[in-house]
Structure formats: C-alpha cells, structure tokens
Amino acid sequence: MFKVLVIDDEEGVRIPLASFLEMEGYQAWAAENGFDAFEQIKANRPDFIISDVRMPIWDGFRLQESLNTLTPPIPILYISGFLGDGMESLKQGKGFVGIIAKPFKVDELLQIVKRFAEACHSPRTL
C-alpha cells in the first residue's frame, strides 16, 4: 500500500487531509512539525510526503535539509500559505515535487499523489 505522511502544524489541515487520503485507499498518517515527522520517517519510511513550509520546531526548510541525507530521496510536495522569497532553496532539495498554495484544491493534490502512487507500482519511471 502506498504510504503518505502529512506534515502540518495546523490540526485542521493535517488530520482531515490524512483521513481523506486514507478514504482514497492510501496508508496515511500525520505529524505536526518537521522534527516529529523525521523521527517517524526513520521508523516508517513513507513513499510520499506532503508538508507545510512554515511550522514550529522544524520548518519545511530544516526538514528538507534532513531529507536530503536520505537515499533514495522521498518525493515531497509542499503546501504553504506563504509563497515568497526563500522557496527556491526547497526547489533544490532531493525529492522536490512542487509547491501548492494554501488554500489548495484537494483534487489537485490527490492527482499528484495518484501519479506518484501509480509510478511507484509501475516498471516505468516518472
């Protein structure tokens, strides 16, 4: 089963999004910041990550630094209410998929997850 980790400090985003992904047939779980997420990743590596950028403790930038040490890279899609300066460094990270502005359309996000899930179970690459 394709595993998706949702990381967001806003409970009203992370819990419903993880639940929605589970209803769509994915194994999904959530973390409220980058530090907690990285601890979970070490114990249970996801196939795909959806992460906020601005979070307490470890933000998306610090999380990306840690994710860059992993091989192979984990695909990561960022969601953020702030799409300003500084986002270029995320785009250079291993596994970078894209950045979607909050509020986002769940269907748009789901299509991206589906594309990676299908590629994961296909002999061809993305």
Question: What token pair was written down for 59?
Answer: 């933000």
**At what angle are helices 106-120 and 11-23 packed, to 10 degrees?**
50
φ, ψ at 34 (rounded to 5°): -65, -35
pLDDT tens-digit readout, 23-49: 999 999 999 999 999 999 999 999 999
Tell me the residue ranges of DSSP E strands in the chain: 3-7, 27-31, 48-52, 76-80, 96-101
pLDDT tier at 126, thresholds 50, 70, 90: very low
Q: Given strand 48-52, what is the order of strands in its sheet? A: 27-31, 3-7, 48-52, 76-80, 96-101
- Which domains are seen in the chain, by residue range? 3-120 (3.40.50.2300)
* Model confidence at 125: pLDDT above 80: no
Average pLDDT over residues 84-92: 71
